[in-house]
Every structure is written in C-alpha cells, then in structure tokens.
Amino acid sequence: MNDIKILSVVVPCYNVEGYLSRCLSSLVHQDIDGSAYEVIAVDDGSTDSTGEICDRYAKDYPQVKVMHQTNRGLGAARNAGLDLARGKYLLFVDADDFMVENCFKELIDTAEANLLDVLAYHSVDVYDGSPIPLVSEAPKQDIKVQTGAEYLSENFMQGPVWWFFTKREIIEKERLRFPEGHMLEDSPFTPEVILSAQRMANIGKVCYYYVQRPSSIMHSRDREHLLTLLGDYIFAYKSVDEVIAKHRHKMDESAYTRLASRRDSFLYFGIFRALKSGVAKEFYQHLKNDGLLPLRQLDKREFASKKWNILRLLFNCPALTCGIGKIYGFIR
C-alpha cells in the first residue's frame, strides 16, 4: 500500500453481510481507473460473513484492500483505515450505505480544478426494504469556494463524516483521529475537518445513499447499549465544545451559532434516549453534575419547528419531563 493514489475510500465493516456487497459494488463500479484509487475495507471482528465478502472483493478487484482486526469499534476501525490510506484525497463510507456509481471522476476533477481541501456533496435517504430513490442528473452549477468557517456560516452542517471528502494532508497536518470507545465518534471529527479547510465547496449533486435501518448501532433498543449511548451524548457535547474553543477565532457569529446549536442538540437527543430507556432521572443528574443545565435554545435555521422551543421549556423542568413517560412518541 505504499504507492500513492488519487483517492482512498475507507469502509469500516462490522456484521453487515446483508449490505456490504451493494456498498463495495458501488465503490468498484466507478469512472476512474482501478489503479488510481483504493478501497480500504476494515473488518472489525465481524461474526457473520462480512470478512469473507471483503476478501472476495479483494480477490476480484485489485483496488480493494482488506484489513481484519479484533472488534474495537467504529472509531478504531476508521483510524485503522486512516493509517493505511495513501490517497491524495480521503473519503469515508459506512458499509451499510453506498455511493452513486460513476461519480468519482467529477468529484476528483472538481477538487483538483478548484484546489479544494474539502468537497461536499448531497445524500439521499434510503429506507431499509424500500425501493432505492432515483437520482436525477443535477444541472451544472458554479462552484463557490470558501473557507470551511465561511461555509459553515452559510450552510447546514451534517454531523456524519460521509457527506464530503477531504485532502488527506488536512487530516495529517491537524493530526486528526476519531475518538475510540465511543459512539457518535464523528461528532468532533467532522467540524474539525471543516474548520481546518482553507478552500471548501459543495458540488451540489447527490453522490451518497444513506441507508436507514432499524438494526443499526444508532437504532438499538438494548438497555445496556442505550445507557452507554447516553454517556456518549455528553461526550459528543464536550468534544464539539473543545472544537469550538479551538476554532472560535475563525468563526463569525453565524458559524458559531450553527456549531454551538449542533453541540447543544446532543443534550436534547440524549434526553429523548433517556426517556425511552427509562433512565431520565439518572441522565438529568449527569447533566446537572456537569453544569449542562439549563438547555440553550437551538438555532432556528436548523431547528425551525416550534416544538424545539416547547421542548426546551419542558426539558428544563426535569421533574415534569420525567413524569411524562411517553413524551418521545408524542412529539415525534
């Protein structure tokens, strides 16, 4: 893996045998030569046939590289892929999602022509068991190049790491890594990358299919999983808060408000989860101990519904909130 590539695609894989072939097929059926890029599939100790599927694709497609490791979690799997990557540009794809075929050339050409550090694109939600939405060809549009902070000031920033690709140089220069041992591990990584970019743009077309599946790690209803996840909501809040402190001098008030609202939203979603899992009192105690109450108002540009104002008032009354056991279903 010492030869330099134009693009490295990192795919962390854990027990995704029903989805992985579609994902990898979308990555090998692209419009650039297979020798120009690499797909790094990191099998994170899967107990189903995920590892065998990875090996089969590596045998059939030279651009696919496979690393097998004991189960260490999503953050560690992504970091393992980062360590192996040799591409000028870096792209993360979740193994249950997939990309639009024949989109790599335009992405790379656009990044190269505009000397971009980060290039964003659009995604489409795919619901498990439902037909795949058709993606129509988007009309060509002018590329608006901005700093990452300027982009954040004007645009909604998604939390996941799969809606953009970036120069690997940015990752190495800033020594960025995913937190290990936590869920929501991309919550600090994404804004770190965006705010480190001197030249960023959005290509304005759909390149990614995000698969919503009830059995995914973020949708588990297992009590032990939920208790762990609640702690990770607080971890995500604190991690993004550190990113804000580090890059505050780059952000105008609009960018700061967007990112601060993204940070604060983790506490709202944590309360939702706590109510569902029956541990709201315990979660509120953690929030109180860490000085995270009362909750702040969320940015109306991204949380426009009136329900968020109502929820802020309600969630800032722990006794009342805990007394409404089925509030999540009511406001959903």
The predicted model scores a pTM of 0.91
Do residues 213 and 72 share a domain? yes
C-alpha of 319 from chain center: 33
Do residues 212 and 237 share a domain? no
Do residues 177 and 280 share a domain? no
Do residues 207 and 255 share a domain? no
Q: What separation, in Å, do the N-terminal and C-terminal C-alpha atoms of the chain show?
A: 47
d(CA 77, CA 266): 23
Do residues 159 and 29 share a domain? yes
Do residues 100 and 144 share a domain? yes
Do residues 140 and 250 share a domain? no
Do residues 187 and 231 share a domain? no
Q: What is the per-residue pLDDT for 98?
A: 97
Do residues 53 and 177 share a domain? yes
**Domains identified in the chain, total number:** 2
Do residues 189 and 239 share a domain? no
Task: Provide the domain limits for residue 254.
Answer: 221-331
How confident is residue 2, by pLDDT bands cut at 50, 70 and 90? low
How confident is residue 325, by pLDDT bands cut at 50, 70 and 90? low
Q: What is the per-residue pLDDT for 139?
A: 65
Chain mean pLDDT for the chain: 91
pLDDT tens digits for 277-287? 788 888 999 99
**CATH code of the domain covering residue 13:** 3.90.550.10
Token code pair at residue 153: 């000031």
Is residue 206 scored above 60 in pLDDT?
Answer: yes
Spatial strand order in the sheet of 164-167: 64-69, 37-44, 5-13, 87-92, 164-167, 118-127, 200-212, 98-99
| Low-confidence winner among 20-29, 116-125, 269-278 (lowest mean pLDDT) | 269-278
pLDDT tens digits for 90-143? 999 999 999 999 999 999 999 999 999 999 999 999 988 777 877 766 667 789
- Among 86, 107, 64, which Cα is nearest to 169's? 86
How confident is residue 1, by pLDDT bands cut at 50, 70 and 90? very low
